[in-house]
Structure 1
Amino acid sequence: MAGTFVACGIVLLLVGFALFATHVSRLSTPRNPQSADAIIVLTGGQARLDAAVGLLKSGKGERLLISGVHPSTTRKTLQAATGGDDALFSCCVDIDRAALDTIGNAEESAKWVRTHAYERVILVTNNYHMPRSLLEMQRLLDTAQLEPYPVVNSSIDKGSWISRPEVLRVLFMEYGKYLLALARGAFPTHLPDGGMISASASAPGQH
Protein backbone atom coordinates (compact mmCIF):
# COMPACT_ATOMS: atom_id res chain seq x y z
CA MET A 1 0.00 0.00 0.00
CA ALA A 2 2.77 2.43 0.92
CA GLY A 3 4.49 1.69 -2.37
CA THR A 4 1.31 2.52 -4.26
CA PHE A 5 1.02 5.90 -2.52
CA VAL A 6 4.65 6.69 -3.30
CA ALA A 7 4.19 5.72 -6.95
CA CYS A 8 1.05 7.86 -7.23
CA GLY A 9 2.87 10.76 -5.60
CA ILE A 10 5.73 10.51 -8.08
CA VAL A 11 3.32 10.39 -11.01
CA LEU A 12 1.45 13.46 -9.74
CA LEU A 13 4.74 15.28 -9.22
CA LEU A 14 5.88 14.55 -12.77
CA VAL A 15 2.53 15.44 -14.29
CA GLY A 16 2.54 18.70 -12.34
CA PHE A 17 6.05 19.46 -13.54
CA ALA A 18 5.09 18.81 -17.16
CA LEU A 19 2.14 21.19 -16.85
CA PHE A 20 4.33 23.81 -15.15
CA ALA A 21 7.08 23.56 -17.78
CA THR A 22 4.56 23.69 -20.62
CA HIS A 23 2.92 26.79 -19.15
CA VAL A 24 6.25 28.55 -18.66
CA SER A 25 7.43 27.66 -22.16
CA ARG A 26 4.36 29.33 -23.65
CA LEU A 27 4.93 32.66 -21.89
CA SER A 28 6.11 35.38 -24.23
CA THR A 29 7.27 38.96 -23.81
CA PRO A 30 4.42 41.42 -24.57
CA ARG A 31 5.26 43.61 -27.55
CA ASN A 32 3.31 46.64 -26.40
CA PRO A 33 2.00 46.28 -22.83
CA GLN A 34 -0.54 48.74 -21.48
CA SER A 35 0.79 51.51 -19.31
CA ALA A 36 0.70 51.09 -15.54
CA ASP A 37 1.35 53.26 -12.50
CA ALA A 38 4.79 51.76 -11.99
CA ILE A 39 7.21 48.95 -12.83
CA ILE A 40 8.95 46.42 -10.60
CA VAL A 41 11.87 44.31 -11.79
CA LEU A 42 13.33 41.41 -9.80
CA THR A 43 17.07 41.23 -10.26
CA GLY A 44 18.81 38.09 -11.44
CA GLY A 45 19.88 38.85 -14.98
CA GLN A 46 20.84 41.70 -17.30
CA ALA A 47 17.93 41.02 -19.65
CA ARG A 48 15.41 41.69 -16.88
CA LEU A 49 17.00 45.04 -16.05
CA ASP A 50 17.25 46.09 -19.68
CA ALA A 51 13.58 45.25 -20.23
CA ALA A 52 12.45 47.17 -17.15
CA VAL A 53 14.46 50.29 -17.95
CA GLY A 54 13.19 50.10 -21.52
CA LEU A 55 9.62 50.10 -20.24
CA LEU A 56 10.35 53.09 -18.03
CA LYS A 57 11.94 55.01 -20.91
CA SER A 58 8.92 54.32 -23.11
CA GLY A 59 6.53 55.69 -20.49
CA LYS A 60 4.90 52.39 -19.53
CA GLY A 61 5.22 53.35 -15.87
CA GLU A 62 5.93 56.51 -13.92
CA ARG A 63 8.49 54.92 -11.61
CA LEU A 64 10.68 51.81 -11.44
CA LEU A 65 11.69 49.70 -8.44
CA ILE A 66 14.74 47.47 -8.90
CA SER A 67 14.30 44.88 -6.17
CA GLY A 68 17.03 42.66 -4.74
CA VAL A 69 20.03 44.77 -5.71
CA HIS A 70 23.39 43.55 -4.39
CA PRO A 71 25.63 46.13 -2.64
CA SER A 72 28.84 45.15 -4.44
CA THR A 73 28.23 47.35 -7.51
CA THR A 74 27.68 51.09 -7.39
CA ARG A 75 24.54 52.85 -8.51
CA LYS A 76 26.54 54.46 -11.31
CA THR A 77 27.59 51.04 -12.58
CA LEU A 78 24.00 49.83 -12.49
CA GLN A 79 22.91 52.93 -14.38
CA ALA A 80 25.61 52.50 -17.01
CA ALA A 81 24.84 48.81 -17.46
CA THR A 82 21.22 49.55 -18.29
CA GLY A 83 21.86 52.63 -20.42
CA GLY A 84 19.86 54.86 -18.09
CA ASP A 85 20.68 58.55 -18.05
CA ASP A 86 21.22 60.68 -14.94
CA ALA A 87 17.85 62.40 -15.19
CA LEU A 88 15.94 59.12 -15.50
CA PHE A 89 17.67 57.45 -12.56
CA SER A 90 17.45 60.56 -10.38
CA CYS A 91 13.76 61.14 -10.88
CA CYS A 92 12.22 57.76 -11.41
CA VAL A 93 14.29 54.79 -10.16
CA ASP A 94 14.23 53.35 -6.65
CA ILE A 95 16.61 50.61 -5.52
CA ASP A 96 15.76 47.96 -2.95
CA ARG A 97 18.82 46.29 -1.46
CA ALA A 98 17.08 44.52 1.42
CA ALA A 99 15.54 41.61 -0.51
CA LEU A 100 17.68 38.46 -0.65
CA ASP A 101 15.23 36.15 -2.43
CA THR A 102 11.82 36.11 -4.09
CA ILE A 103 10.00 36.26 -0.75
CA GLY A 104 12.04 39.33 0.15
CA ASN A 105 11.30 40.82 -3.28
CA ALA A 106 7.59 40.46 -2.56
CA GLU A 107 7.85 42.00 0.91
CA GLU A 108 9.90 45.01 -0.18
CA SER A 109 7.84 45.52 -3.33
CA ALA A 110 4.61 45.48 -1.32
CA LYS A 111 5.97 48.20 0.98
CA TRP A 112 6.91 50.29 -2.05
CA VAL A 113 3.53 49.83 -3.75
CA ARG A 114 1.65 50.75 -0.59
CA THR A 115 3.86 53.76 0.10
CA HIS A 116 3.06 55.19 -3.34
CA ALA A 117 -0.54 53.92 -3.42
CA TYR A 118 -0.04 52.32 -6.81
CA GLU A 119 -3.00 50.41 -8.22
CA ARG A 120 -1.48 48.80 -11.31
CA VAL A 121 2.09 47.57 -11.59
CA ILE A 122 4.07 45.82 -14.34
CA LEU A 123 6.17 42.97 -12.94
CA VAL A 124 9.33 42.09 -14.86
CA THR A 125 11.24 38.83 -14.37
CA ASN A 126 12.24 35.76 -16.37
CA ASN A 127 9.49 33.57 -17.82
CA TYR A 128 10.39 30.54 -15.65
CA HIS A 129 10.43 32.76 -12.53
CA MET A 130 7.12 34.52 -13.25
CA PRO A 131 4.61 31.99 -11.75
CA ARG A 132 6.32 31.95 -8.35
CA SER A 133 6.92 35.70 -8.38
CA LEU A 134 3.25 36.40 -9.06
CA LEU A 135 2.26 33.98 -6.30
CA GLU A 136 4.48 35.66 -3.71
CA MET A 137 3.57 39.19 -4.83
CA GLN A 138 -0.19 38.70 -5.01
CA ARG A 139 -0.17 37.34 -1.47
CA LEU A 140 0.97 40.73 -0.16
CA LEU A 141 -0.32 43.32 -2.62
CA ASP A 142 -4.00 43.17 -1.66
CA THR A 143 -5.96 45.03 -4.34
CA ALA A 144 -3.04 46.19 -6.49
CA GLN A 145 -3.15 44.67 -9.96
CA LEU A 146 -0.04 42.99 -11.35
CA GLU A 147 0.66 42.85 -15.07
CA PRO A 148 3.26 40.16 -15.85
CA TYR A 149 6.06 41.04 -18.27
CA PRO A 150 8.01 37.78 -18.70
CA VAL A 151 11.47 38.05 -20.18
CA VAL A 152 12.41 35.15 -22.44
CA ASN A 153 16.18 34.61 -22.65
CA SER A 154 15.99 31.48 -24.79
CA SER A 155 13.10 29.81 -26.56
CA ILE A 156 11.78 26.68 -24.85
CA ASP A 157 8.45 26.46 -26.62
CA LYS A 158 7.09 23.43 -28.50
CA GLY A 159 8.43 21.12 -25.78
CA SER A 160 12.10 21.82 -26.55
CA TRP A 161 12.85 21.95 -22.81
CA ILE A 162 12.53 18.15 -22.69
CA SER A 163 15.69 17.63 -24.75
CA ARG A 164 17.78 20.33 -23.05
CA PRO A 165 19.25 19.07 -19.73
CA GLU A 166 20.38 22.50 -18.51
CA VAL A 167 16.92 23.98 -19.09
CA LEU A 168 15.26 20.92 -17.60
CA ARG A 169 17.32 21.31 -14.42
CA VAL A 170 16.45 25.01 -14.03
CA LEU A 171 12.76 24.34 -14.63
CA PHE A 172 12.61 21.46 -12.17
CA MET A 173 14.34 23.51 -9.45
CA GLU A 174 11.93 26.36 -10.05
CA TYR A 175 9.00 23.95 -9.96
CA GLY A 176 10.12 22.75 -6.54
CA LYS A 177 10.29 26.34 -5.27
CA TYR A 178 6.86 27.00 -6.76
CA LEU A 179 5.39 24.05 -4.84
CA LEU A 180 6.92 25.40 -1.63
CA ALA A 181 5.37 28.80 -2.36
CA LEU A 182 1.99 27.12 -2.83
CA ALA A 183 2.42 25.34 0.50
CA ARG A 184 3.22 28.63 2.24
CA GLY A 185 0.01 30.03 0.80
CA ALA A 186 -1.95 27.75 3.11
CA PHE A 187 -0.85 29.90 6.04
CA PRO A 188 -1.65 33.59 6.71
CA THR A 189 1.07 35.98 5.59
CA HIS A 190 1.69 39.40 7.08
CA LEU A 191 3.87 42.11 5.63
CA PRO A 192 6.71 42.93 8.07
CA ASP A 193 6.63 46.42 9.56
CA GLY A 194 9.18 49.11 8.90
CA GLY A 195 11.82 49.57 6.24
CA MET A 196 11.72 52.09 3.47
CA ILE A 197 12.99 51.42 -0.03
CA SER A 198 16.50 52.78 -0.39
CA ALA A 199 17.66 54.68 -3.43
CA SER A 200 21.32 54.45 -2.46
CA ALA A 201 24.16 52.81 -4.35
CA SER A 202 23.84 49.11 -5.03
CA ALA A 203 23.72 46.50 -7.78
CA PRO A 204 21.85 43.51 -9.16
CA GLY A 205 21.57 40.32 -7.14
CA GLN A 206 20.82 36.71 -8.06
CA HIS A 207 17.67 34.74 -7.20
Structure 2
Amino acid sequence: MSSQDDQHTATEEAVGAARPTAGRSRARGRRLLRILLSGLLVAGLAFYVGSFLRFAATVSGYQNNDAARADAIVVLTGGSERVKHALTLLQAGNAERLLISGVHPETTPKQIVSSTASDLSLFSCCVDLDRNANNTLENASETAKWARENDFSRLLVVTSAYHMPRALLELNSTMADFDLVPVPVQTADLVFDRWFEDPRTTLLLAREHLKYLLAWARIAVMETSAP
Protein backbone atom coordinates (compact mmCIF):
# COMPACT_ATOMS: atom_id res chain seq x y z
CA MET A 1 0.00 0.00 0.00
CA SER A 2 1.40 3.39 -0.97
CA SER A 3 1.99 6.21 1.50
CA GLN A 4 -0.77 8.14 -0.25
CA ASP A 5 -3.24 5.33 0.45
CA ASP A 6 -2.08 5.23 4.06
CA GLN A 7 -2.74 8.95 4.44
CA HIS A 8 -6.22 8.59 2.88
CA THR A 9 -7.08 5.71 5.22
CA ALA A 10 -5.84 7.68 8.25
CA THR A 11 -7.96 10.67 7.24
CA GLU A 12 -11.08 8.51 6.88
CA GLU A 13 -10.45 6.96 10.28
CA ALA A 14 -10.02 10.42 11.86
CA VAL A 15 -13.23 11.69 10.27
CA GLY A 16 -15.07 8.56 11.37
CA ALA A 17 -13.84 9.02 14.92
CA ALA A 18 -14.82 12.70 14.91
CA ARG A 19 -18.41 12.06 13.81
CA PRO A 20 -19.52 10.23 16.99
CA THR A 21 -17.79 12.90 19.08
CA ALA A 22 -19.61 15.70 17.24
CA GLY A 23 -22.88 13.79 17.54
CA ARG A 24 -22.40 13.36 21.28
CA SER A 25 -21.63 17.09 21.64
CA ARG A 26 -24.82 18.04 19.80
CA ALA A 27 -26.88 15.61 21.89
CA ARG A 28 -25.32 16.99 25.08
CA GLY A 29 -26.11 20.54 23.92
CA ARG A 30 -29.74 19.60 23.25
CA ARG A 31 -30.05 18.00 26.69
CA LEU A 32 -28.60 21.10 28.37
CA LEU A 33 -31.00 23.29 26.40
CA ARG A 34 -33.97 21.15 27.45
CA ILE A 35 -32.84 21.28 31.08
CA LEU A 36 -32.43 25.06 30.87
CA LEU A 37 -35.85 25.57 29.29
CA SER A 38 -37.48 23.24 31.83
CA GLY A 39 -35.79 25.14 34.66
CA LEU A 40 -37.00 28.47 33.29
CA LEU A 41 -40.53 27.08 32.92
CA VAL A 42 -40.56 25.78 36.50
CA ALA A 43 -39.12 29.05 37.82
CA GLY A 44 -41.68 31.08 35.86
CA LEU A 45 -44.53 28.92 37.10
CA ALA A 46 -43.30 29.17 40.69
CA PHE A 47 -43.05 32.96 40.38
CA TYR A 48 -46.57 33.20 38.93
CA VAL A 49 -48.15 30.96 41.59
CA GLY A 50 -46.31 32.73 44.40
CA SER A 51 -47.27 36.12 43.01
CA PHE A 52 -50.91 35.08 42.67
CA LEU A 53 -51.05 33.80 46.25
CA ARG A 54 -49.58 37.07 47.53
CA PHE A 55 -52.06 39.01 45.40
CA ALA A 56 -55.02 37.00 46.74
CA ALA A 57 -53.76 37.44 50.32
CA THR A 58 -53.49 41.20 49.79
CA VAL A 59 -57.05 41.44 48.47
CA SER A 60 -58.52 39.28 51.23
CA GLY A 61 -56.49 41.14 53.86
CA TYR A 62 -57.79 44.63 53.15
CA GLN A 63 -59.32 46.21 56.24
CA ASN A 64 -62.32 48.53 56.47
CA ASN A 65 -60.95 52.07 56.24
CA ASP A 66 -64.23 53.93 56.38
CA ALA A 67 -63.07 55.99 59.37
CA ALA A 68 -59.98 57.31 57.56
CA ARG A 69 -59.78 61.01 56.75
CA ALA A 70 -57.93 62.88 54.04
CA ASP A 71 -57.84 66.07 52.00
CA ALA A 72 -59.92 64.48 49.27
CA ILE A 73 -61.38 61.27 47.87
CA VAL A 74 -60.96 59.67 44.46
CA VAL A 75 -63.22 56.87 43.29
CA LEU A 76 -62.43 54.85 40.19
CA THR A 77 -65.60 53.98 38.32
CA GLY A 78 -66.55 50.41 37.50
CA GLY A 79 -69.75 49.97 39.47
CA SER A 80 -72.34 52.11 41.23
CA GLU A 81 -71.38 50.65 44.63
CA ARG A 82 -67.95 52.24 44.37
CA VAL A 83 -69.39 55.68 43.66
CA LYS A 84 -72.09 55.30 46.30
CA HIS A 85 -69.46 54.40 48.90
CA ALA A 86 -67.32 57.40 47.99
CA LEU A 87 -70.30 59.77 48.17
CA THR A 88 -71.19 58.35 51.59
CA LEU A 89 -67.66 59.07 52.81
CA LEU A 90 -67.84 62.61 51.43
CA GLN A 91 -71.20 63.26 53.08
CA ALA A 92 -69.87 61.87 56.37
CA GLY A 93 -67.07 64.44 56.34
CA ASN A 94 -64.12 62.10 55.68
CA ALA A 95 -62.82 64.60 53.12
CA GLU A 96 -63.76 67.94 51.63
CA ARG A 97 -63.80 67.03 47.95
CA LEU A 98 -64.39 64.03 45.69
CA LEU A 99 -63.21 63.14 42.20
CA ILE A 100 -65.24 60.55 40.32
CA SER A 101 -62.75 59.33 37.70
CA GLY A 102 -63.87 57.61 34.51
CA VAL A 103 -67.39 59.00 34.16
CA HIS A 104 -69.06 58.35 30.81
CA PRO A 105 -69.20 61.57 28.73
CA GLU A 106 -73.01 61.45 28.58
CA THR A 107 -73.64 60.63 32.26
CA THR A 108 -75.12 63.52 34.24
CA PRO A 109 -74.91 64.27 37.98
CA LYS A 110 -78.66 63.57 38.26
CA GLN A 111 -78.14 60.08 36.83
CA ILE A 112 -75.36 59.43 39.33
CA VAL A 113 -77.58 60.64 42.18
CA SER A 114 -80.39 58.38 40.96
CA SER A 115 -78.18 55.28 40.83
CA THR A 116 -76.51 55.94 44.19
CA ALA A 117 -79.38 57.48 46.20
CA SER A 118 -77.14 60.41 47.11
CA ASP A 119 -77.61 64.16 47.52
CA LEU A 120 -77.51 66.29 44.36
CA SER A 121 -76.31 69.31 46.35
CA LEU A 122 -72.96 67.58 46.85
CA PHE A 123 -72.26 67.92 43.13
CA SER A 124 -72.57 71.70 43.19
CA CYS A 125 -70.04 72.14 45.98
CA CYS A 126 -67.78 69.19 46.41
CA VAL A 127 -67.75 66.71 43.50
CA ASP A 128 -65.65 66.84 40.33
CA LEU A 129 -66.24 64.54 37.36
CA ASP A 130 -63.38 63.19 35.26
CA ARG A 131 -64.75 62.21 31.85
CA ASN A 132 -61.37 61.61 30.19
CA ALA A 133 -60.15 58.39 31.80
CA ASN A 134 -61.05 55.11 30.10
CA ASN A 135 -58.87 52.73 32.11
CA THR A 136 -56.89 52.47 35.34
CA LEU A 137 -53.75 54.00 33.83
CA GLU A 138 -55.72 57.05 32.70
CA ASN A 139 -57.52 57.16 36.08
CA ALA A 140 -54.12 57.57 37.72
CA SER A 141 -53.02 60.30 35.31
CA GLU A 142 -56.23 62.32 35.72
CA THR A 143 -56.19 61.87 39.50
CA ALA A 144 -52.61 63.10 39.76
CA LYS A 145 -53.44 66.18 37.69
CA TRP A 146 -56.55 66.95 39.78
CA ALA A 147 -54.78 66.45 43.11
CA ARG A 148 -51.87 68.71 42.17
CA GLU A 149 -54.15 71.42 40.80
CA ASN A 150 -56.03 71.45 44.12
CA ASP A 151 -52.91 71.15 46.29
CA PHE A 152 -54.05 67.91 47.94
CA SER A 153 -51.47 65.64 49.58
CA ARG A 154 -53.54 62.85 51.17
CA LEU A 155 -56.23 60.96 49.26
CA LEU A 156 -58.70 58.23 50.09
CA VAL A 157 -58.70 55.78 47.16
CA VAL A 158 -62.06 54.07 46.69
CA THR A 159 -62.45 51.09 44.37
CA SER A 160 -63.35 47.40 44.55
CA ALA A 161 -61.07 45.30 46.76
CA TYR A 162 -59.91 43.10 43.86
CA HIS A 163 -59.04 46.22 41.82
CA MET A 164 -57.23 48.04 44.65
CA PRO A 165 -53.70 46.55 44.16
CA ARG A 166 -53.57 47.59 40.50
CA ALA A 167 -55.17 50.97 41.25
CA LEU A 168 -52.56 51.72 43.92
CA LEU A 169 -49.77 50.48 41.63
CA GLU A 170 -50.80 52.89 38.87
CA LEU A 171 -51.46 55.77 41.27
CA ASN A 172 -48.16 55.35 43.10
CA SER A 173 -46.27 55.36 39.81
CA THR A 174 -47.49 58.92 39.12
CA MET A 175 -48.11 60.10 42.70
CA ALA A 176 -45.18 58.79 44.72
CA ASP A 177 -45.16 61.98 46.79
CA PHE A 178 -48.80 61.56 47.91
CA ASP A 179 -50.25 59.70 50.87
CA LEU A 180 -52.74 57.26 49.34
CA VAL A 181 -55.13 55.49 51.71
CA PRO A 182 -56.99 52.45 50.32
CA VAL A 183 -60.71 52.27 51.08
CA PRO A 184 -61.78 48.97 49.48
CA VAL A 185 -65.37 48.31 48.51
CA GLN A 186 -66.36 44.70 49.12
CA THR A 187 -68.57 42.91 46.60
CA ALA A 188 -71.35 40.96 48.29
CA ASP A 189 -71.31 37.94 45.95
CA LEU A 190 -67.51 37.48 46.03
CA VAL A 191 -65.73 35.51 48.76
CA PHE A 192 -62.18 36.79 49.05
CA ASP A 193 -61.22 35.24 52.39
CA ARG A 194 -61.94 31.74 50.98
CA TRP A 195 -61.52 32.49 47.30
CA PHE A 196 -60.23 28.98 46.55
CA GLU A 197 -63.67 27.56 47.36
CA ASP A 198 -65.49 29.82 44.89
CA PRO A 199 -64.65 29.38 41.18
CA ARG A 200 -66.12 32.76 40.25
CA THR A 201 -63.95 34.61 42.77
CA THR A 202 -60.89 32.58 41.78
CA LEU A 203 -61.36 33.41 38.09
CA LEU A 204 -61.86 37.09 38.85
CA LEU A 205 -58.70 37.20 40.97
CA ALA A 206 -56.73 35.35 38.28
CA ARG A 207 -57.79 37.86 35.61
CA GLU A 208 -57.07 40.85 37.82
CA HIS A 209 -53.73 39.39 38.88
CA LEU A 210 -52.69 39.05 35.24
CA LYS A 211 -53.63 42.70 34.62
CA TYR A 212 -51.62 43.63 37.70
CA LEU A 213 -48.53 41.79 36.42
CA LEU A 214 -48.81 43.45 33.01
CA ALA A 215 -49.10 46.88 34.64
CA TRP A 216 -46.16 46.10 36.92
CA ALA A 217 -44.02 45.01 33.96
CA ARG A 218 -44.91 48.13 31.96
CA ILE A 219 -44.07 50.43 34.86
CA ALA A 220 -40.79 48.57 35.52
CA VAL A 221 -39.74 48.95 31.87
CA MET A 222 -40.65 52.64 31.86
CA GLU A 223 -38.69 53.29 35.05
CA THR A 224 -35.68 51.36 33.77
CA SER A 225 -35.61 53.22 30.45
CA ALA A 226 -36.19 56.64 32.02
CA PRO A 227 -33.13 58.96 31.78
Q: TM-score, normalised by structure 2?
A: 0.78
- Equivalent of residue 175 in structure 1, options 194, 209, 214: 209
The count of aligned residue pairs is: 187
Tell me if structure 2 keeps the 8 A contact 1:28–1:151.
no
What is the alpha-carbon distance in structure 1 between the residues aligned to residue 192 and residue 92 of structure 2? Answer: 28
Counterpart for residue 7 of structure 1: 42
Q: 3-state DSSP class of the match of 2:124?
A: helix
What is the alpha-carbon distance in structure 1 between the residues aligned to residue 156 and residue 66 of structure 2? Answer: 13
Counterpart for residue 114 of structure 1: 148
| Identity across the alignment (%) | 43
- Counterpart mapping for 1:64-79 below 5 A: 64-79=98-113
What is the alpha-carbon distance in structure 2 between the residues aligned to residue 16 and residue 144 of structure 1? Answer: 26
Bigger radius of gyration, 1 or 2? 2
Q: Measure how far apart 1:28 and its partner are.
A: 2.9
Tell me if structure 2 keeps the 8 A contact 1:37–1:61.
yes
RMSD: 1.6
What is the alpha-carbon distance in structure 1 between the residues aligned to residue 148 and residue 87 of structure 2? Answer: 22
Counterpart for residue 9 of structure 2: none
- Equivalent of residue 89 in structure 1, options 123, 128, 142: 123
Where does the alignment leave 5 or more consecutive residues of structure 1 unmatched? Answer: 190-207
Counterpart for residue 133 of structure 1: 167
Which residue type is aligned with residue 3 of structure 1?
A: S
- Equivalent of residue 99 in structure 1, options 111, 133, 142: 133
From the two aligned structures, give the one with the greater helix fraction: 2
- Equivalent of residue 70 in structure 2, options 11, 28, 36: 36
Structure number with greater CO (CA < 8 Å, separation at least 6) is: 1
Which residue type is aligned with residue 99 of structure 1?
A: A
Which residue type is aligned with residue 30 of structure 1?
A: N
Counterpart for residue 61 of structure 1: 95
What is the alpha-carbon distance in structure 1 between the residues aligned to residue 45 and residue 164 of structure 2? Answer: 25
Question: Following TM superposition, where does structure 1 have runs of at least 4 consecutive aligned residues deviating by more than 4 angstroms?
Answer: none
Where does the alignment leave 5 or more consecutive residues of structure 2 unmatched? Answer: 1-34
Counterpart for residue 123 of structure 1: 157
Q: Measure how far apart 1:31 and its partner are.
A: 4.1
Q: Measure how far apart 1:92 and its partner are.
A: 0.5
Q: Measure how far apart 1:151 and its partner are.
A: 0.8
Tell me if structure 2 keeps the 8 A contact 1:28–1:152.
no
Q: 3-state DSSP class of the match of 1:56?
A: helix
Q: 2:60 matched to 1:25?
A: yes
Tell me if structure 1 keeps the 8 A contact 2:56–2:192.
no
**1:188/1:8 CA distance change after superposition, 3 Å:** closer
Q: TM-score, normalised by structure 1?
A: 0.85
